[in-house]
Amino acid sequence: MKLPEDSRVICAGLDQFCLPSALFARATDRFVGWNNSFMEAMGISADEMRAVPVSEILRMETPAAEASECETAPAPVHPEKCILKVTSDGQPATAKLFEREDGYSLLIVEGSAAAESNEDFIRGLITGKTEEQDRIRQKFHDEVAPQIMAAAFATETLADRVRQGADQDPEELKRIADLITDLVGGIRVALGNNAATLQTPPTS
């Protein structure tokens, strides 16, 4: 869907209130509209705005919120927050991101008055990602690794018996299947996925 020309005046209107803003298309990863305040905030020229991929500036996003809908919007809109990389030596900036489901998004950079909250937001995102990585690493070490070892040992033991000419034991196969099911469940829990664990199909 082509962006209507009147949508581009949004940035011009926001420029009159010193609000840095830009429009971009996710499909092409390019900006399709912006204002002078945005170029100044990002330390980037108009020629660079036409050429630089959005992904080089938009570095981190919060999870999308529930969509908002109104009569004038051609598609539902998801409000988010994000971190923008400033091309100069300045600190990263935070912005409000309004992502429309037809592929177009509006960025509005938060003002300097919110600098302290911006730093808290960035620090919170970084700290949260680090803590989550540590939690997953510890969970794998304490719970998932022993399950992997148990499943691997049981599988190798059964394989040795079969190689030596023994018949496959249905009970042993079921035990290995249960170990694998527990392992999958452990991985889901470690990754924070609370979905129901896979069920082992009944053995005949």
pTM, two decimal places: 0.53
What does the block give as tokens for 48? 């660079």
Shortest CA distance to 122 belongs to which of 90, 77, 78?
Answer: 90
Residue 89 and residue 29 share a domain = yes
Where does a domain end: 110, 139, 156?
110
| 53 and 150 inside one domain | no
HEC per residue, the chain: CCCCHHHHHHHHHHHCCCCCEEEEECCCCEEEEECHHHHHHHCCCHHHHHHCCHHHCEEEECCCCCCECCCCCCCCEEEEEEEECCCCCCCCEEEEEEEECCCEEEEEECCHHHHHHHHHHHHHHHHHHHHHHHHHHHHHHHHHHHHHHHHHHHHHHHHHHHHCCCCCCHHHHHHHHHHHHHHHHHHHHHCCCCCCCCCCCCCC
How does pLDDT run across 119-165, given as a tens digit for each residue?
A: 555 566 666 666 666 677 776 667 766 777 777 777 777 777 777 87
Domain that includes residue 17, residue range: 5-110
Residues 80 and 163 occupy one common structural domain: no
Our count of domains for the chain comes to: 2
Q: Answer yes or no: is 199 within a domain.
A: no
Q: Any idea what the CATH number is for the domain that residue 101 is in?
A: 3.30.450.20
Backbone angles phi, psi at 19, to 5 degrees: -105, 105
Report pLDDT for 108. Answer: 92
Separation of alpha carbons 198 and 38, rounded Å: 49
In a domain, 96, yes or no: yes
pLDDT of residue 113: 40
Any domain includes 165: yes
The pLDDT of 33-58, averaged and rounded, is 91
Quote the radius of gyration of the chain (alpha carbons, Å).
Answer: 26
pLDDT at 34: 93
Burial of 42 (0-12, 13-18, 19+ CB in 10 A): buried
